C-alpha cells in the first residue's frame, strides 16, 4: 500500500491548508490552464503523436449489422466510441514520480528502480495510479509579463533572483504547500509549431528549482514541453541535460507540470488563486493529462 508520506510533500497536505485555499475564491470564476488536444498537435519530439480514432459509429454499426442492444431497435439508436491513443504527457499534464530515472541503477523518487520495479506494463512503484488530487493555493509567476515581452527568447533561463524580483513586483509570496506556475509566454504561440520551435525552450534553471524547494512547494508547472530551460545552462560535471527535473521530481518528489496555458490568467493579473487538478489514476502510466483550473 502506498502511504501519504511516499507520494512526495503533497502527501502531508493538512486539511487546514485546503480550507485556506478555498478561502482564496472571491468571484467564483474558473480559468482553464489547458489548451485543446487534437490529432497532430505539437508535442515534445520524444513523444508519440496524439490520435483520436473511431471504434464505433452509427453508420458502421448499421453496415456491419451489429446489435449492441439486441435485435429490436426500431428507433435506429446509434452511438460513437473512440480510441484515444496518446502518451499521458500530451498537452497540459503532470509527471508521475516514476516518470524520470537517474543513475546507473535507473532509480526514481521513493526507492523505485528499473530492475526491480519496471514491468512490461509500466512502473509498479509511484506510477500515475498513486497521484493525489491537488486542491491548494496557486501562485502565478509571470516572467514574460515582468520582462515586457510576449514570449521569452529561446533558451532563456529564469533564475532565483528573477523569481524574487517577479514576486516583489506582483506583490505575492510563495510558501509551503503552494503550487507555482511560471509563465514564459510559450503557450501564447500554440499551436503555431514554427513559432514555438523558434522559442524553444525558456524556463527555470537549477537556482530557481532550489528557490522553489526552499519555499516548500508541492508542485510546479510551466507553459513549455520541458518545464525547465533547455539546453541546460548548468548541467553540472556529469552533463545532466535536465538538472531541474532531477532536483524536483527525482530527489524531492515535487510534481512537475508542462504545457500549461496561463495566458488568460496573466491577462487577469491573477497572481494568487485556488489551484485544482485531478490526475487520472492509470496503473502503469508515468503521468496524467490534466485540465487544471485556477479559481479566482
Residue 130 is predicted with a pLDDT of 98
Average pLDDT per consecutive 10 residues, the chain (296 residues; last block may be shorter): 80 98 98 97 93 97 94 94 97 98 97 97 98 98 98 98 98 98 98 95 98 98 98 94 98 98 98 98 98 98
Would you kindly state where each structural domain of the chain is located, as residue ranges? 4-36+88-295, 51-85
Residue 181 is predicted with a pLDDT of 99
Residue 1 is predicted with a pLDDT of 56
Task: Name the nearest CA neighbour of 185 among 267, 248, 271.
Answer: 267
Residue 2 is predicted with a pLDDT of 66
Contact 143, 158 (CB under 8 A): yes
Question: Whole-angstrom Cα distance, residue 137 to residue 1?
Answer: 28
What DSSP assignment string belongs to 216-228? T-SEEEESSSSSS
Q: pTM for this one? A: 0.96
| Topology of domain 4-36+88-295, CATH | Glucose Oxidase; domain 1 (3.50.30)
Termini Cα distance of the chain: 36
Contact 290, 94 (CB under 8 A): yes
Query: What are the φ/ψ torsions at residue 248 (nearest 5 degrees)?
Result: -80, -60
Amino acid at each position: 500500500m502506498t502511504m501519504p508520506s511516499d507520494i512526495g510533500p503533497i502527501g502531508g497536505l493538512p486539511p487546514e491548508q485546503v480550507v485556506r485555499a478555498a478561502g482564496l475564491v472571491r468571484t467564483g470564476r474558473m480559468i482553464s490552464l489547458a489548451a485543446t488536444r487534437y490529432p497532430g498537435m505539437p508535442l515534445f519530439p520524444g513523444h508519440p503523436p496524439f490520435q483520436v480514432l473511431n471504434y464505433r459509429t452509427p453508420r458502421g454499426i448499421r453496415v456491419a449489422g451489429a446489435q449492441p442492444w439486441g435485435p429490436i431497435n426500431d428507433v435506429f439508436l446509434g452511438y460513437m466510441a473512440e480510441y484515444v491513443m496518446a502518451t499521458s504527457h500530451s498537452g497540459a499534464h503532470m509527471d508521475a514520480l516514476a516518470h524520470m530515472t537517474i543513475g546507473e541503477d535507473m532509480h526514481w523518487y521513493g526507492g523505485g528502480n528499473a530492475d526491480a520495479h519496471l514491468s512490461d506494463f509500466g512502473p509498479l512503484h509511484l506510477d500515475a495510479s498513486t497521484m493525489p488530487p491537488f486542491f491548494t493555493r496557486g501562485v502565478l509567476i509571470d516572467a514574460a509579463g515582468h520582462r515586457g515581452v510576449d514570449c521569452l527568447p529561446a533558451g532563456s533561463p529564469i533564475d532565483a533572483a528573477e523569481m524574487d524580483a517577479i514576486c516583489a513586483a506582483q506583490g505575492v509570496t510563495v510558501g509551503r504547500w503552494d503550487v507555482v506556475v511560471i509563465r514564459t509566454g510559450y503557450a501564447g504561440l500554440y499551436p503555431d509549431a514554427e513559432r514555438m520551435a523558434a522559442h524553444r525552450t525558456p524556463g527555470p534553471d537549477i537556482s530557481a528549482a532550489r528557490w522553489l524547494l526552499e519555499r516548500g512547494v508541492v508542485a510546479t508547472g510551466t507553459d513549455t514541453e520541458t518545464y525547465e530551460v533547455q539546453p541546460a545552462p548548468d548541467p553540472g560535471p556529469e552533463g545532466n541535460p535536465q538538472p531541474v527535473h532531477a532536483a524536483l521530481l527525482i530527489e524531492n518528489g515535487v510534481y512537475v507540470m508542462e504545457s500549461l496555458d496561463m495566458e488568460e490568467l496573466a491577462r487577469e493579473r491573477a497572481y494568487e488563486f485556488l489551484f485544482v487538478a485531478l490526475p487520472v489514476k492509470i496503473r502503469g502510466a508515468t503521468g496524467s493529462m490534466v485540465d487544471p483550473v485556477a479559481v479566482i
